[in-house]
Amino acid sequence: MPVTASSKSYRVGRSKTGLGLFATMPIKKGTRIIRYFGPILDSRIPEQDDIENKYLFELNGRWTIDGSVRKNVARYINHSCRPNAESDVRPRERKVFIRAIKNIEPGDEINYDYGTDYFKAYLKPIGCKCPSCENKRKKQRAEARAERAKVKASTERKAKKSAPKATKKKKLNGHAVGKTNGRARA
Ligand SMILES: [Zn+2]
């Protein structure tokens, strides 16, 4: 039997993107943290197939868990591209468990990868806000800033360099004016 974390090992709390689920105790890698549950929808029944919300968890081509129910605390778990947990999908049992894939420390936000379909449908259009993507963006912004600073510094250097040249040229031109009848030399 897999080790299952007690319900006291997590709490709902404020995360950057709204609410999230946070560890309140150390959770060992491999531990089942929580079950993702809700009514099971059958895609062969049109009324059930028509249900649309962002808490649907597809088990396979036919069965989907509607995780939008209040009691499903696992719905608070946010997506991450570099998660510390994963969804353990059991289509035959029609169950999903969220399991730690790293040792999770108290205070850490628990997250798992929602998968490509969800990412494309919901996250890509608005930009993924998971810590991993935020860090990537931060790094890119810093690099862009550094690049701009570099360009600025080099432009300023060039401007400084060309400034004395310009005065030199003027003098040259001034000198040349008399000899070449005003035609500038290359
Ligand atoms: Zn991400």
C-alpha of residue 178 to centroid of ligand 1, in Å: 69
DSSP string, 82-143: S-SEEEEEETTTTEEEEEESS-B-TTPEEEE---HHHIIIIITTT---SHHHHHHHHHHHHH
Q: How far is the CA of 130 from the centre of ligand 1 (A)?
A: 4
Please give the biggest Cα pair distance in the chain: 100
Q: Tally the domains of the chain.
A: 1
- 57 alpha carbon to ligand 1 midpoint, in Å? 19
Between CA 84 and CA 100 the distance in angstroms is 6
Q: Per residue, what are the HEC states of 80-95? A: CCCCCEEEEEECCCCE
Domain of 28, in residue numbers? 7-126
Kind of pairing, strands 109-112 and 10-15? unpaired
- What residues sit around ligand 1, an ion, with C-beta below 5 angstroms? 81, 128, 130, 133
Question: How far apart, in whole angstroms, are the C-alpha atoms of residue 34 and residue 52?
Answer: 23
In a domain, residue 177? The reply is no
The answer to whether 38 touches 55, Cβ cutoff 8 Å, is yes
Residue 178 forms part of a structural domain: no
For position 87, which CATH number holds?
2.170.270.10
Return the amino acid letter for 88.
D
Task: Examine residue 185 and state whether it is found in any structural domain, yes or no.
Answer: no
Residue 53: inside a domain: yes
pLDDT at 162: 73
Q: Is 77 within a domain?
A: yes
For 68-86, write each residue's pLDDT tens digit. Answer: 999 999 999 999 999 999 9
Q: Which residues of the chain have pLDDT under 50?
A: 174, 176-182, 185-186
Q: How far is the CA of 167 from the centre of ligand 1 (A)?
A: 55
Q: Is residue 171 part of a domain?
A: no
Distance 110 CA to ligand 1 centre (A): 14
Place of tokens 């129910």: 69
Helices (H) and strands (E) in the chain, counts: 3, 10
Q: How far apart are CA 24 and CA 12, in angstroms?
A: 10
The C-alpha atoms of residue 63 and residue 39 are separated, in whole angstroms, by: 10
In a domain, 142, yes or no: no
Q: Calculate how far, in angstroms, residue 133's C-alpha sits from the geometric centre of ligand 1.
A: 4
Which is it for strands 109-112 and 78-79: parallel, antiparallel or unpaired? parallel
How far does residue 67's CA lie from ligand 1's centre (Å)?
21
Predicted local confidence at residue 163, as pLDDT: 66
Structural tokens at position 46: 């049109």
